């Protein structure tokens, strides 16, 4: 239970850290404002027969050209001075959306400040009107006396949503990694035990388990043998000594264990606990192979 709680806490911590990082990155984005202006195509006064049909033809063919005209060198050059961008940079911040079957076009311009976004949108809209693209049967008219300017970055709602999604995904990924590590470690232990000829059940435990000492002490007491911790790698010797001290200090008498009956003497040999790395292999097999014949392996602890 404690080990499960610890793993859950690790997943929650990873999710919290990742979510916080995504939120900070999203909120630290530079300010970005979008100015929007609507342009409407309308016919000019004319009494010539067939003008209405000719007007519809011109609008259907001419309005799509606004998309490219809004980013043309002459248009962006005229508005670059108020945008804070070079003409080349400004062209990347301009877009035009055409509303089908309406003669309406929405011009959008992004800039670093609210004032620049509004001023640039107005300047480009004026250039599009002055281009007289629909002449001689139509013209463009600016519908908005003042551009509609909104802040698009940093988007607090979007950043918060992305942070929550990233936190959940990171926590789930951490849980999957933990499960895979545990499964791989147990499989490696099973292979090593089979290679060493061990046929009886052996506990596979995690060194980070807070209740590890009590669990091992119960097994050793049930076997009627003295516990002995063996490290299979030099860098694990110190941790093996710590685990051995924890076994001595453990109080397994608080846990129900099989009664030894009238036996007053311990069985010969030790109850061996092997401390190994998760990527166990030949080292574990070799350590098991050199154990005394009267020793009994009760557990493999993965560090």
What element of type H or E holds 108? strand 104-111
Q: Report CA torsion sign: 269, 271, 277, 278.
A: positive
pTM higher than 0.75, yes or no? no
What whole-number distance in Å separates Cα of residue 106 and Cα of residue 284? 71
Alpha carbon 212 to chain centroid, angstroms: 33
Residue 257 has pLDDT above 50, yes or no: no
Q: What is the pLDDT of residues 187-235, one digit of tens each?
A: 777 777 777 777 788 888 888 777 888 888 888 888 888 888 888 888 8
Contact 44, 140 (CB under 8 A): no
Round to whole Å and give the CA distance between 117 and 95: 13
List phi, psi (to 5°) of 64. Answer: -60, -25
The mean pLDDT value for 41-54 works out to: 65
Q: What are the tokens at 40?
A: 């409407």
Per-residue pLDDT of 110-129, as tens digits, reads 998 999 999 999 999 999 99
* 4, pLDDT greater than 70: no
Inform me whether the pLDDT recorded for 259 exceeds 60: no
Is the Cβ–Cβ distance between 110 and 152 less than 8 Å? Answer: yes
Mean pLDDT of 31-46: 87
The span from the CA of 150 to the CA of 10, in Å, is 40
CATH number of 32-153: 3.30.70
Beta-bridge partner residues of 227:
271
pLDDT band, residue 47 (cuts 50/70/90): very low
Q: Which contacts of 165-168 are long-range, i.e. CB under 8 A and separated by 24 or more positions?
A: 166/18, 166/19, 166/21, 166/22, 167/15, 167/16, 167/18, 167/19, 167/22, 168/15
For residue 40, pLDDT over 90 is answered with yes
Q: What is the mean pLDDT of the chain?
A: 82
């Amino acid at each position: 239970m404690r080990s499960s709680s610890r793993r859950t806490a690790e997943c929650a911590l990873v999710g919290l850290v990742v979510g916080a990082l995504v939120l900070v990155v999203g909120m630290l984005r530079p300010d970005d404002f979008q100015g929007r202006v609507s342009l409407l195509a309308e016919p000019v006064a004319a009494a010539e027969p067939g003008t209405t049909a000719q007007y519809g033809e011109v609008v259907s063919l001419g309005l799509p050209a606004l998309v490219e005209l809004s980013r043309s060198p002459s248009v962006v050059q005229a508005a670059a001075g108020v945008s804070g961008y070079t003409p080349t940079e400004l062209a990347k911040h301009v877009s035009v959306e055409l509303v089908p079957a309406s003669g309406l076009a929405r011009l959008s311009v992004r800039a670093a400040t609210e004032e620049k976004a509004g001023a640039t949108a107005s300047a480009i809209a004026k250039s599009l009107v002055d281009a007289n693209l629909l002449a001689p049967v139509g013209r463009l008219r600016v519908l908005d006396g003042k551009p509609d300017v909104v802040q698009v970055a940093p988007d607090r709602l979007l950043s918060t949503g992305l942070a929550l999604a990233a936190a959940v995904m990171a926590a789930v990924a951490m849980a999957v990694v933990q499960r895979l590590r545990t499964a791989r470690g147990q499989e490696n232990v099973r292979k090593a035990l089979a290679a060493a000829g061990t046929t009886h059940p052996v506990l596979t435990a995690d060194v980070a388990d807070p209740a590890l000492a009590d669990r091992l002490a119960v097994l050793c007491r049930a076997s009627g043998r003295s516990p002995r911790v063996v490290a299979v790698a030099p860098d694990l010797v110190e941790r093996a000594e710590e685990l051995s001290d924890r076994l001595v200090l453990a109080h397994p008498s608080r846990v129900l264990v099989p009664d030894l009956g009238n036996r007053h003497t311990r069985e010969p040999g030790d109850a061996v606990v092997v401390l190994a790395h998760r990527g166990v292999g030949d080292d574990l097999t070799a350590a098991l192979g050199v154990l005394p014949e009267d020793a009994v392996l009760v557990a493999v602890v993965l560090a």
